[in-house]
Amino acid sequence: MNTKLKLEKIYKRYGSKTVLDALDLEVEEGEFMVVLGPSGMGKSTLLRVIVGIEDLTAGRVIVDGTDVSDLPPNKRNIAMVFQNYALYPNMTAYKNIAFPLKMNKMPPGKIQKKVSEIAETLKIADIMDRDIS
């Protein structure tokens, strides 16, 4: 099998408090992974470290064989969906989807193509011009 995500000796500390302690993990292609545990045990911190919105203290995050530990989130080719999603109520569905692509300086033609693909995949093409509110 092909390893899609590999964590090597991941440490995350906040001051003197260790949240992630020498965590090793491998997720293979096609594998489904669930992280369970009580509140405050580091599940969200782990996800934020993997996607790069939280710096790790030590260790390596490897995605598709590439060490992404020092890469910004938009260069990691991995993402997460937040429990409390944020949509811009003053924007249409199209503009909400296009906004992060625009912020990452994607050319307008590519944005239009990508948003159309997403809308078709999610079967929401007929509501793309509606406001979210």
Domain at 18, CATH number: 3.40.50.300
User: Looking at the structure, do residues 10 and 54 belong to the same domain, yes or no?
Assistant: yes
- The pLDDT assigned to 43 comes to 92
User: Looking at the structure, do residues 106 and 69 belong to the same domain, yes or no?
Assistant: no
User: Looking at the structure, do residues 11 and 57 belong to the same domain, yes or no?
Assistant: yes
* Residue 41 resides in a domain: yes
- Say whether pLDDT at 133 is over 80: no
Q: If you average pLDDT over every residue of the chain, what do you get?
A: 91
- The pLDDT assigned to 80 comes to 80
* Residue 24 resides in a domain: yes
- The pLDDT assigned to 77 comes to 86
- The pLDDT assigned to 79 comes to 81
User: Cα–Cα distance between 89 and 127 in angstroms, integer?
Assistant: 14
User: What pLDDT digit, counting tens, does each position of 72-102 carry?
Assistant: 888 888 888 777 677 888 899 999 999 988 8
User: Cα–Cα distance between 98 and 29 in angstroms, integer?
Assistant: 28
All residues at 6 or more sequence positions from 119 whose CB lies less than 8 Å from its CB, including other chains: 93, 94, 97, 125, 128
- The pLDDT assigned to 73 comes to 87
User: What pLDDT digit, counting tens, does each position of 50-59 carry?
Assistant: 999 899 999 9
User: Cα–Cα distance between 39 and 36 in angstroms, integer?
Assistant: 9
User: Looking at the structure, do residues 12 and 38 belong to the same domain, yes or no?
Assistant: yes
User: Looking at the structure, do residues 60 and 116 belong to the same domain, yes or no?
Assistant: no
* Residue 114 resides in a domain: yes
The whole-number average pLDDT for the span 29-40 is 90
Burial 24-49 (b: 16+ CB within 10 A, else e): eeebeeeeeeeeeeeeeebebbbbbb
Which of 7, 52, 51 has its CA nearest to residue 26?
7
* Contact indicator for 37, 29 with CB cutoff of 8 Å: no
pTM here?
A: 0.65
Kindly report which listed range (6-10, 62-66, 100-104) carries the lowest average pLDDT score.
Answer: 100-104
User: Looking at the structure, do residues 71 and 112 belong to the same domain, yes or no?
Assistant: no
User: Looking at the structure, do residues 70 and 7 belong to the same domain, yes or no?
Assistant: yes
